[in-house]
Amino acid sequence: MRALAALIRRDIKIALRVGGGALIGVLFFLTVVVLMPFAVGPDLALLTRLGPAILWIGALLASLLTLDRLFMADHEDGSLDLIVMGRTPLELACAAKALAHWLAAGLPLIIATPVLGLLLNLDATSTSAVALTLLAGTPALTFTGMIGAALAVTLHRGGLLLAVLVLPLSIPVLIFGVAASQAAISGPLSFGTPFSILCALSLVSFVIGPFAAAASLRHGLD
């Protein structure tokens, strides 16, 4: 436990310091959402209808943007070799790294959502529905994205490959995330159904992500 806590603390510290990249995701999210009203035009009803989808796409792309650093930085400086050798099971170490990444890069997106919701003419209920679905769904993006990050770790500039690998896995999360938000705003579906599936997707990714990532790290280190 002490080793995992140390790993989480270290990763968050690095992400929050200069050049760490935690803010890059939020800034990208901000850019996408701020530009959207200018592209769509001043049709408030249309913006309200598109709002949840725009926020979700922004959050998805922002979380993809920083994922490639998840293992790459540790691989480049040799830390990953020592983590693989360590007494902590690699699966748990992967889960800890993903958790730290989500805390540093995913949580700020959710905190920024209420502010950005204003730009998209979303009222308080809609914004909190979107924030809630992001809270339930972004961990799934991080934990499935981790598999792609582990596969692309030995490739320099593997960011694009990572996006291609991870996108199919993140589509279900996007579908049910937006569906749950829309259900809360306009119906006719009940919020609970797509939201439960979204939570289930996250839970499945918690189990599969660390094992798949650890397996590909073990095979990939050469």
Partner 1 sequence: MRLSGRDVRCARGGREIFSGVDFEASSGEALAVTGPNGSGKTSLLRLIAGQLTIASGSIGLEGGESELTLPEQAHYLGHRDALKSALSVMENLSFWRDFLGGEAFDARTSLAAVGLDHAAHLPAAYLSAGQRRRLSIARLLVVRRPVWLLDEPTNALDTAGQSMFAALMGDHLSRGGLIVAATHASLGIAARELRIGGGS
Minimum Å gap between C-beta 12 and partner 1 is 11
Q: Per CB under 8 A, does 222 bind partner 1?
A: yes
b/e burial code for range 93-128 (CB count within 10 A of at least 16 → b): bbbbbbbbbbbbbbbbbbebbeebbebbbbeeebbe
The two structure tokens encoding residue 8: 């989480």
With CB under 8 A as the contact rule, the residue among 77, 156, 187, 188 that binds partner 1 is 77
Contact between residue 62 and residue 107 where contact means Cβ atoms under 8 Å apart: no
Contact between residue 208 and residue 98 where contact means Cβ atoms under 8 Å apart: no
Which stretch, 55-63, 77-85, 101-109, 174-182, contacts partner 1 (CB under 8 A)? 77-85
Restricted to residues 10-69, the positions that interact with partner 1 (CB under 8 A) are 10, 13-14, 17-20
Phi, psi angles (nearest 5°) of residue 155: -90, 125
Minimum Å gap between C-beta 137 and partner 1 is 29
By beta-carbon proximity to partner 1, the closer residue of 7 and 57 is 7
The residues of the shown chain that bind partner 1, judged by CB under 8 A, are: 2-3, 5-7, 9-10, 13-14, 17-20, 76-79, 81-88, 221-222
